[in-house]
Amino acid sequence: MTQPFLLGVLGGMGPLATVDFLSTLLAVTPAASDQQQIPTVVWNVPQIADRQKALAGTGPSPLPQLLTGIARLNQAGASHIVIPCNTAHHWFSALSDVSRAPLIHIVEATISAVVEASPTPQRIGIIATKGTLDAGWFQHGLQQHGITPVVPDEVELETWFVPGCYAVKRGALAEGGAAFVHQAKALFERGAEKLILACTEVPVALRAVNAPFLPLTFDPAQALAERCSKIWQDHRTSYLT
């Protein structure tokens, strides 16, 4: 017998980004009733160690706490698991290795959304943590399709991205949004046609300041939600609606 569909969400990184992902999940799923929405179990525990500090060597690894979250979602019966945090995908392989439920990768979902866009941009800026940029996931994915990535430099990261990210985490969305607007403008000035908002705090903050360039962006959390919605729709016929 096929296991019933139950989406597990490994969240808390940060908690606002998790709630925003869940809202997006509802918005992108075609549903005429409550019963047609995606069944979901969420591990939204914000005490997970800071991912940016861990990768910078200034804080503990979040892996033990991430493994706990994966175990809890598996115990709850998750059939698929997502992580609405780009930087946490640094530990994706380690989490996949111990999870009964398959994990869906946010970068793969995003690159698919970029490639399916018409027309496909030739130069795309990436707003992300240093850890995500150093890993190169988005850059490599874009380059495989002949798209040139445009990334922040070290000064921009320290001046705009990092302060903006932590402003969002303390609830100062407008402050964070203003910082991210500066970062976005710098990438556009260097030739980016569109942007990948590859940190889940960024779209929330840019919406808070009504950034005019939002139509020129790709939101990985939305791409991930759309991938989940498609999988759910393939399974939904087995449920009473």
For the segment 4-59, what is each residue's pLDDT rounded down to a tens digit?
899 999 999 999 999 999 999 999 999 999 999 999 999 999 999 999 999 999 99
Same domain, 116 and 85: no
CATH number of the domain residue 88 falls in: 3.40.50.1860
**In the prediction, which pLDDT does 2 show?**
65
Q: Which is catalytic among the residues 85, 109, 142, 196? A: 85
Q: Is 1 a member of any domain?
A: no
Q: Which is catalytic among the residues 6, 9, 192, 199? A: 199
Q: Which amino acid is at 50?
A: D
| Active-site residue flag, 85 | yes
Q: Is 128 a member of any domain?
A: yes
Q: Within its chain, how far is the Cα of 195 from the centroid?
A: 14
Omega before residue 15 within 30° of 0, cis: no
Residue at token pair 């869940």? 22
The pLDDT > 70 percentage for the chain reads 97
Beta bridge partners of 196: 126, 218
Between CA 148 and CA 125 the distance in angstroms is 9
Same domain, 125 and 70: no
Same domain, 99 and 113: no
**In the prediction, which pLDDT does 240 show?**
47
Same domain, 227 and 139: no
Between CA 22 and CA 221 the distance in angstroms is 10
Between CA 217 and CA 37 the distance in angstroms is 26
Same domain, 191 and 153: yes
Same domain, 190 and 176: yes
Tokens found for residue 138? 């988005």
Structural domain for 186, as ranges? 107-219
Q: Is 2 a member of any domain?
A: no
Same domain, 183 and 95: no
**In the prediction, which pLDDT does 15 show?**
95
Same domain, 79 and 115: no
For the segment 70-99, what is each residue's pLDDT rounded down to a tens digit?
999 999 999 999 999 999 999 999 999 999
Reported in sequence order, the residue ranges of 133-219 that DSSP labels E, i.e. its strands, are: 148-150, 194-197, 217-218
Same domain, 170 and 200: yes
Integer-rounded Cα Rg, in Å, for the chain is 18
**In the prediction, which pLDDT does 140 show?**
98
- For residue 82, the SS3 value is strand
Same domain, 96 and 111: no
Same domain, 163 and 209: yes
Same domain, 122 and 161: yes
3-state helix, strand, coil in the chain (%, to 5): 55, 10, 35
Q: Is this structure's pTM higher than 0.75?
A: yes
Task: Report the number of distinct structural domains present in the chain.
Answer: 2
